[in-house]
């Protein structure tokens, strides 16, 4: 009887102590790369990059109710923009990282004017998916610039900073670079959602009509958050480009990638900052070991999304920490 009571008490304290969990997760992410091989380290780096991408979509959809189904377009714009200017103009990849994010944000701002006037989620989803398909076709057909499906190769790695090299022979430095950007992204998003604008976004997500009646400027808030979300997605794309050093439209601007984003956020937990991070590691590592399925991985994506929505609609983090945000 006493042991059962103690167990319940410990369980209750653990459920409430989500900050402790986040701290342990951070320590694990810092220590882990020193104990794994090159292959596992590569998967961990990709997990971090897709965690940033998942956070960008979660900011728009989870916290603001803007269900974009074309977020892979911003990822692709950031990736191709940074890669092309680094190759053709010999601009530093560090500057390309920022430029890629800015161009993705500009693209997000441009399409937000016609698309975000829509208030019905399926219309927004279809419109943004159509936008992403246009970007994919442009990347495929402007072969003189992007080399189409042959693949844009020869993308330079990030240049050295003092004694720190960021080539493939020094993956651990790349890992900590991406981890640093991920931490900054988490802190930035946390500041947004916990600030005055966070209340506006929450009210906008719950009911746009009610938010508008309370004085929330829907157009400005949608534009702001969509451009921020697109910028973060563009930065993740630029990181990906300078890490893998090869880009193809069918891989970087595909529906498969959008499904992967959905799966990452759904499994980790929508409307939680840490959820997409946890989801990214689960999805990237899991799908890496499902490569033998080939094209059938699309079926696995869809099946997993259905299972998660049926049995764990709020994701892993909300299941463990109901009050997490």
SS (H, E, C) 275-309: HHHHHHHHHHHHHHCCHHHHHHHHHHHHHHHHHHH
Give pLDDT tens digits for 76-106: 999 999 999 999 888 999 999 999 999 999 9
- Residue 18 pLDDT more than 50? yes
Give the phi and the psi of residue 152 in degrees, each rounded to 5: -85, 110
pLDDT tens-digit readout, 191-244: 998 888 888 888 887 777 777 777 777 778 888 899 999 999 999 999 999 999
Nearest Cα neighbor of 288 from 86, 44, 35 is: 44
> How large is the average pLDDT for residues 59-76?
89
Which parts of 32-90 fold into alpha helices (H)? 38-61, 71-88
Helix or strand (DSSP H, E) at 190: helix 171-194
Give the pLDDT of residue 9: 40
Residue among 80, 183, 59, 72 nearest 133 (CA): 72
pLDDT tens digits, residue range 234-281?
999 999 999 999 999 988 898 889 988 988 998 888 888 888 999 999
Q: What phi-psi label fits residue 157: left (phi over 0), alpha (psi between -120 and 50 degrees) or beta?
A: beta
- Token match 């103009």: residue? 89
pTM of the predicted structure, to 2 decimals: 0.89
| pLDDT value of residue 321 | 67
């Amino acid at each position: 009887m006493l042991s059962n009571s103690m167990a319940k008490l410990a369980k209750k304290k653990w459920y409430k102590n989500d900050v402790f969990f986040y701290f342990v997760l951070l320590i694990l992410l810092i220590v882990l790369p020193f104990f794994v091989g090159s292959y596992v380290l590569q998967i961990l780096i990709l997990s971090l990059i897709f965690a940033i991408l998942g956070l960008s979509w979660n900011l728009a959809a989870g916290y603001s109710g803007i269900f974009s189904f074309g977020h892979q377009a911003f990822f692709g714009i950031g990736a191709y923009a940074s890669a092309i200017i680094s190759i053709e103009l010999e601009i530093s990849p560090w500057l390309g990282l920022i430029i890629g994010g800015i161009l993705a944000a500009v693209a997000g701002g441009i399409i937000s004017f016609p698309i975000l006037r829509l208030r019905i989620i399926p219309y927004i989803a279809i419109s943004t998916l159509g936008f992403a398909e246009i970007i994919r076709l442009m990347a495929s057909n402007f072969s003189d610039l992007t080399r189409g499906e042959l693949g844009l190769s020869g993308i330079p790695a990030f240049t050295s900073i003092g004694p720190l090299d960021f080539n493939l022979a020094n993956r651990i430095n790349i890992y900590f670079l991406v981890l640093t950007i991920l931490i900054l992204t988490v802190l930035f998003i946390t500041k947004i959602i916990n600030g005055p604008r966070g209340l506006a976004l929450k009210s906008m997500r719950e009911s746009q009509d009610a938010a508008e009646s309370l004085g929330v400027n829907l157009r400005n808030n949608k534009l702001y958050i969509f451009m921020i979300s697109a910028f973060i997605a563009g930065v993740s794309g630029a990181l990906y480009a300078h890490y893998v050093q090869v880009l193809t439209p069918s891989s970087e601007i595909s529906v498969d990638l959008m499904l992967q984003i959905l799966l990452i956020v759904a499994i980790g937990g929508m409307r939680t900052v840490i959820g997409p991070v946890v989801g990214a590691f689960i999805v990237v590592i899991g799908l890496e070991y499902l490569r033998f399925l080939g094209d059938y991985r699309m079926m696995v994506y869809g099946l997993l999304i259905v299972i998660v929505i049926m049995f764990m609609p709020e994701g892993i983090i909300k299941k463990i920490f109901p009050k997490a945000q």
